[in-house]
């Protein structure tokens, strides 16, 4: 499915086996472990994790069904579907990340998130200023009161301001979304990565540092502004 901006989602790391693999069984047999081989965002990009898993299932030599795994931005749910009955076992914290209360799903041809997914969401708005190089100044004192000042430019940093309903913020701030690498597709996003003036509304892949700042606003504190500072991944 096409990405519906604004959208923010976690990357799943192949070095963490519990995030890279799922076990699937259908009429052809199983369980068969399907393992994603590259670190990818959950649903945006193709390659992405959900697409990789159903591609692996569809190209498997023994599994019989045709699979389609996708993120539904309208309902804020992940759907794991097939043309016939199958079972799927989610590993480690995948269930919470995808919005399932149970890690073992069986007896149906389609499974849809029954709780808030913690690794992806479509907030009300995402905006950012142009990334800029982090600046460090080094002051070196020499003999005879001589001083040398050196300035270094490190990785690019960016500040993202994300407006959410407070219900969404309370849920996703308790999960992995802002604790490791994530992809942010801002309001107005169409496709591709941020590239300065040539693509000012492209997605940004960000490593956050520090804790996100939150501010509840609006009637009854119904909205939350989340501010995240991080380094931009080229």
> For 144-159, how does the pLDDT look when each residue is reduced to its tens digit (9 = 90+)?
566 666 555 567 889 9
33 and 21 co-located in one domain: yes
What is the residue range of 114's domain? 7-120
Could you tell me which residues come within 8 angstroms of residue 173 by beta carbon, excluding any fewer than 6 positions away? 212, 214, 226
CA angle 134, 137, 139 (to 5 degrees): 170
Looking at residues 77-89, what average pLDDT do you find? 98
Q: What is the CATH number of the domain that holds 227?
A: 2.40.30
User: Is the per-residue pLDDT at 183 higher than 90?
Assistant: yes
105 and 27 co-located in one domain: yes
Whole-angstrom distance, CA of residue 7 vs CA of residue 191: 12
Let me know if residue 1 belongs to a domain: no
Let me know if residue 158 belongs to a domain: yes
For the chain, percent of residues with pLDDT exceeding 90: 66
What is the chain's mean pLDDT, rounded? 89
Give the DSSP H/E element, type plus range, for residue 171: helix 166-172
The domain boundary residue, chosen from 99, 120, 141: 120
169 and 79 co-located in one domain: no
Q: How many domains does the chain have?
A: 2
Global pTM reads: 0.87
15 and 110 co-located in one domain: yes
The domain boundary residue, chosen from 86, 120, 154: 120
* CB-based contact 107:85 (threshold 8 Å): yes
17 and 92 co-located in one domain: yes
179 and 144 co-located in one domain: yes
199 and 128 co-located in one domain: yes
User: Is the per-residue pLDDT at 163 higher than 60?
Assistant: yes
Looking at residues 68-97, what average pLDDT do you find? 95
Let me know if residue 2 belongs to a domain: no
Let me know if residue 193 belongs to a domain: yes
Q: How would residue 64 be classed by pLDDT, with cut points 50, 70 and 90?
A: very high
């Amino acid at each position: 499915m096409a990405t519906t901006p604004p959208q923010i989602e976690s990357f799943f790391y192949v070095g963490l086996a519990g995030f890279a693999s799922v076990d699937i069984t259908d009429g052809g047999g199983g369980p068969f472990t399907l393992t994603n081989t590259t670190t990818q965002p959950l649903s945006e990009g193709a390659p992405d994790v959900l697409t990789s898993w159903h591609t692996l299932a569809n190209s498997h030599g023994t599994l019989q069904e045709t699979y389609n795994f996708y993120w539904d931005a309208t309902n804020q749910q992940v759907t794991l579907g097939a043309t016939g009955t199958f079972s799927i076992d989610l590993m480690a914290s995948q269930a919470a990340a995808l919005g399932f209360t149970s890690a073992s799903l069986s007896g149906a041809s389609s499974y849809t998130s029954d709780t808030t997914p913690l690794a992806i969401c479509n907030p009300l708005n995402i905006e950012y200023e142009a990334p800029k190089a982090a600046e460090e100044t080094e002051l070196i004192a020499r003999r005879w009161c001589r001083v040398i000042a050196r300035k270094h430019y490190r990785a690019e940093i960016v500040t993202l301001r994300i407006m959410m309903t407070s219900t969404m913020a309370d849920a996703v701030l308790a999960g992995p979304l802002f604790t490791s690498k994530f992809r942010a597709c801002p309001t107005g996003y169409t496709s591709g990565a941020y590239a300065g003036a040539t693509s000012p509304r492209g997605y940004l892949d960000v490593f956050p540092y520090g804790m996100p700042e939150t501010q509840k606003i609006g009637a009854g504190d119904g909205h939350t502004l989340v501010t995240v500072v991080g380094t931009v991944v080229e």
